[in-house]
Structure 1
Amino acid sequence: MTAFGKVAASDAPADEEWARPRAGTEEIEALQAEIARLKRVNAVLMDRVENDMSARGPSAFTLFQAAITLENRVAERTAELTSLTHHLFQQISERCAAEKALLLAKAEAEKANLSKTRFLAAASHDLRQPLIVARLYLDMLREHERGARGREIVGAIESSLDVVEDLVRALVDISRLDAGVWPAEISCFALAPLFERLRQDFEPQAQALGLRLRVAPTSLAVRSDRSLLERVLRNFLSNAVRYTARGSILLGARRRGEEVTIEAFDTGVGVEAQDIPLIFEEFRQAGSAPREGERGLGLGLAICERVARLIGARIEVASTPGRGSRFCLRVERAEAPQEPAPRREPAPAASLDGLCAVVIDNDRRLRAALATLLRSWGAIVVEARSAKAAVAALRAARKSPRLVVADYHLDDGLTGVGAVAFLREAFGGELQALIVSSDASEELRRHARAEGLNFLPKTAAPMRLRAMLNALAARGRGEEPSAAGAGR
């Protein structure tokens, strides 16, 4: 048993080693059979391809190669297009992100700009109020001052006030123009009346300085904003007077196709060619004024350039140092409209003596100054902060008002227009009224005109205020108002 068992145990490995080569041989044979089968299939396929190519002619193989080449190119271009598309999508994504950031930045800038505009408007109102008060008291002081030295001091103070008011007004105007909150009223009008107004205003000033101002007659008409166009031309003439020591100034207009060129020539100091762009920047001036104290603020032309863009006009400048300058404004031409000739009527012999007037203003100092000025003209004045307070004071004094002078911006969002309506309801609809404000914007003027009310800026000269109040008093008595009081 033992010997037999040993023999059996030793024989087992020999059987396994014999079986392994046999199994490998079977796999090899199977693979060889598969290869042989594939070769036969390949041979059959090749025969079919060759037969097909022989049947199609000698160009078939060339077409076959071209097809393979084209397929490779398509694959390459597809890969390039895929890469380019991915790159474009990435760029678009980056651009969208950049545009979004720009929009946010623009919104923030517009918000800041609007905030600046509101701040400057509020600041200008707060700054103008004490200036107006000072001017009113200064005018009353001038009436009582008899000495030459006293009048000289009053004149110096007035000049300083003028500079401060001009600076505040210019800063507010630039802010409103940059913010795009200054509406333009485009209409067609003849240039002749405007030229005549400019001649009347600037000729005395030019003559006092030994200059000759010539205004060429014109029959041309333009399509623009009347007041804004006048403002630009006034700046041109003001600069011409300021920077011309001797010689002449000429204002004229020419037709140039569908445009009109309005030109102001002077024989002044002139500007270097490289400095011309600088004169349209804020607080930038080129050259010096020939007379001491005539240097401007450096804001006039900056405002003119913005106004020109607003009304669709263009400014051109040509200048020769030492010989003079030419400032030109190109405006759209229009057919001359038929405008009625202004009536010239004698001023009525009206006065404020004994007339009851109401002054409504929420600024105590300005209200007191204006009331004092009206009393110096003979009026009986009731002053109040609001329309309700005015009605209460009038009823307590048993007075019936004939005139109302109301500030436009009152407390709690109320306006002088509403205050006048309240007083008219209490004392009759024939009550004459004047709206005054340190905000002389065109929107405010239009609102006052729409309500049938006269408007006057608080910065207007006291004599202009007196003339307008006299005209309103005459109208209240049933007399014809004069041209002096018709300025709404």
Structure 2
Amino acid sequence: MTIAATVAGRQNPLEALIERLTVLLTGSASEDYDAERGQAVTRVINGPLTLLYLIVALLVGGQDAAFKISIILVYAAIYIPASWVLLLRTIKRPGYNFGRRAFAMVNDYLAMTFVLALGGAYTLPVWALVLWVTVGNGLRFGLRYLVAATGGALASLVVTWMFNEYWQANPFMVMTLAITAILVPAYIFGLLARLQTVYNTALEANLAKSKFLAQASHDLRQPIHAISLYIACLRDAGLGPEERSMVENIDRSLHSVSRLFRSLLDISTLDSGKVRPNLKPVAIGKLLEEIAQQNSRAAEWARVSLRVAPCAQHVLVDDVLLTTMIQNILSNALKYAPGRNVLLGCRRRGGGLAITVHDQGDGIAEVHLPHVFEEFYQIREKGDRDVEGVGLGLPIVLRLGRLMNLTVGMRSFQGRGTTVIIEGMEIVPAPAIQARRNEAPLPSVTSGLRVLLVEDDQDVLLATAMLLEKWGCTVRAETAPPATVDGCDVLVTDFDLGAKRTGADCIALVRKLAREDVPAIVMTGHDETRVRAELEDPSIPILAKPVHPAEMRSVLSAVVLRMSASAEAKN
């Protein structure tokens, strides 16, 4: 049993059909379905089919058939090319265009009115197209277009009645068509109005949920961040075996809570629509090795043998987003396959590269497979042990994959394990290798480093200062941007500093006081995209709270090494 979630998202069958037809007609596909383009595709398909029906119907009718067919062919020679022009313009310049929509509606109603007025009883079925186009405009483009389209349908009916002898001879038929042309759109109008109200309510609730998740995750990250730093200090405090065991258990529990709040922040960030992938060549084998190394402690806690199959390929992806995807999948594997083997690997598939995460756990029952990518869905069977999490890991994986045009799929067999597959990655040549400078070993890099630490939370400030001092740094700790700067090598600042001040303000002030571009590191519980936009400096590292001590030391060391390299270049 396999479940796959595609990058196009969920569409109704008609929309999916139109999307496929567009791909066939144009040789390309877009990430999001365009209603105007779908209307243009439908017009291109219906035009020739309607023309064929009219020719057959008029030939059967006999009287003046040749004359009427010649007139219809002349008009078709105008309408059908115009339909293609509309489609190509929509593909070239997608999105909202009022003038193009108005022209398309006038073009449609003129064509249908012309056919109805000319053909007598044999063209009466074309009235079904009039209703279809009327309702279609409303469903695709909204209430105002439905009203305008209804006016077009009634105008078409009046003009047809004026020039068609058959319609003039059947006044009750015309009355029935007129009533239909009013009642059907009116009913659709009422449904759309109610649907719009429900949609707006749901949208407000979703935005409220996102704001709550973002705020809750941000506020709770502060104490978790402080606890993580205190734990790192305790490890070097000369504890006995029993005390070290308790610290290890605290760290394991904190790791689970930290992962939960990272998921909450990820989902709220995705809901905001601000995440944009930064695609670049990435050594996929090295990335998988780094992820395995980052999860080695968690694998040890879960008694899992974590292996990585070597891979020498480079792919075009956003390494940060892809890392988050694999981290979430691996987290699930460690939770649901304790004491088993987990394998990270790659394979060629469909001309590209696919990443697979395979565990030898108990597998997933078939009834759950269609729902595993739904938000907040958790697999619960009678007698199952409690597993931490809220059911956001795989939905985040799916949505991040969609941003990079990747497909996420799952295979699972009870008793044999589960495999999650990320495929669709484009294989690219390896970038040119740049010469590397000789780097000093990490343990000595931070010794004697003068750090200005700015953090408005007293607990986080104390814990961070204590940890930096254990690494040999000289720390000046402040709860607000300082009034003076004397002897600062590196600035480490929180982003939210209270009193309407941010880390960006603090960096600007410190650099102004120091009269030099002091290297800076920002720690935050907010979305990195938002913080990066406000900093307006891509060289400033951003650490997401809760920050793992090893990550902080690595970034701090990298900043110091960059400072040394810059100083050497000046000399």
Distance 1:202 1:147, change over 3 A: closer
What is aligned with 2:328?
235
Structure 2 residue 477 is matched with structure 1 residue 383: yes
Distance 1:401 1:266, change over 3 A: closer
Q: Distance in 2 between matches of 1:95 and 1:422?
A: 59
Q: Structure 2 unaligned runs (5+)?
A: 1-120, 123-163
Distance 1:457 1:413, change over 3 A: same
Distance 1:165 1:77, change over 3 A: farther
Q: Offset at 1:426?
A: 0.9
What pairs with 1:172-251 in structure 2 (closer than 5 Å)?
172-201=265-294, 209=303, 211=305, 213-219=307-313, 221-244=314-337, 248-251=341-344
RMSD: 3.7
Distance 1:230 1:331, change over 3 A: farther
What is aligned with 1:360?
454
Contact 2:451 2:475 in 1 (8 A): yes
String of CA shifts for 1:317-339, please: whole Å, max 9, x gaps. 22221112222222143433525
What TM-score, normalized by structure 2, do the two folds share? 0.61
Q: Distance in 2 between matches of 1:133 and 1:152?
A: 20
Q: Distance in 1 between matches of 2:312 and 2:468?
A: 43
Q: Distance in 1 between matches of 2:359 and 2:443?
A: 43
Distance 1:480 1:283, change over 3 A: farther
Q: Distance in 2 between matches of 1:241 and 1:480?
A: 45
Distance 1:467 1:213, change over 3 A: closer
Q: Offset at 1:72?
A: 9.6
Q: Offset at 1:275?
A: 1.9
SS at match of 1:450: coil
Q: Distance in 2 between matches of 1:470 and 1:196?
A: 21
Structure 2 residue 516 is matched with structure 1 residue 424: no
Contact 2:269 2:527 in 1 (8 A): no
What is aligned with 2:539?
452
What pairs with 1:257-336 in structure 2 (closer than 5 Å)?
257-286=350-379, 297-336=390-429
Return the match for 1:118 from 183, 188, 211: 211
Q: Offset at 1:473?
A: 4.3
Q: Structure 1 unaligned runs (5+)?
A: 1-68, 482-488
Q: Distance in 1 between matches of 2:449 and 2:480?
A: 20
Q: Distance in 2 between matches of 1:254 and 1:409?
A: 44
Structure 2 residue 246 is matched with structure 1 residue 153: yes
What is aligned with 1:253?
346
Q: Offset at 1:348?
A: 6.1
What is aligned with 1:466?
553
String of CA shifts for 1:45-87, please: whole Å, max 9, x gaps. xxxxxxxxxxxxxxxxxxxxxxxx9999644643223222223
Q: Distance in 2 between matches of 1:479 and 1:188?
A: 26
SS at match of 1:280: coil
Q: Offset at 1:419?
A: 1.2
Q: Offset at 1:215?
A: 0.8
Contact 2:354 2:423 in 1 (8 A): yes
What is aligned with 1:8?
none
Contact 2:260 2:389 in 1 (8 A): no
More displaced stretch, 141-150 vs 462-471:
462-471
Could you say which structure has the greater relative contact order, defined with CA pairs below 8 angstroms and 6 or more residues apart? 2
Q: Distance in 1 between matches of 2:167 and 2:275?
A: 61
Q: Offset at 1:214?
A: 4.3
Contact 2:226 2:459 in 1 (8 A): yes
Contact 1:224 1:331 in 2 (8 A): no
What is aligned with 1:137?
230
Q: Distance in 2 between matches of 1:278 and 1:195?
A: 27
Q: Distance in 1 between matches of 2:476 and 2:300?
A: 44
What TM-score, normalized by structure 1, do the two folds share? 0.71
Q: Distance in 1 between matches of 2:387 and 2:233?
A: 27
Distance 1:334 1:448, change over 3 A: farther
SS at match of 2:422: strand
What is aligned with 1:369?
463
Report the identity percentage.
28
Q: Distance in 2 between matches of 1:155 and 1:108?
A: 46
Contact 1:359 1:406 in 2 (8 A): yes
What is aligned with 2:115?
none
String of CA shifts for 1:219-260, please: whole Å, max 9, x gaps. 3x5444322223222333343344446664443333333543
Distance 1:336 1:110, change over 3 A: farther
Q: Work out which of the two has the higher radius of gyration on C-alpha atoms and give 1 or 2.
A: 1
Distance 1:277 1:470, change over 3 A: same
String of CA shifts for 1:319-362, please: whole Å, max 9, x gaps. 22111222222214343352536847342674555544221122
Distance 1:216 1:140, change over 3 A: closer
Q: Offset at 1:267?
A: 2.8
Tell me how many residue pairs correspond in the alignment. 404
SS at match of 2:372: helix
What is aligned with 1:406?
493
Q: Offset at 1:405?
A: 0.9
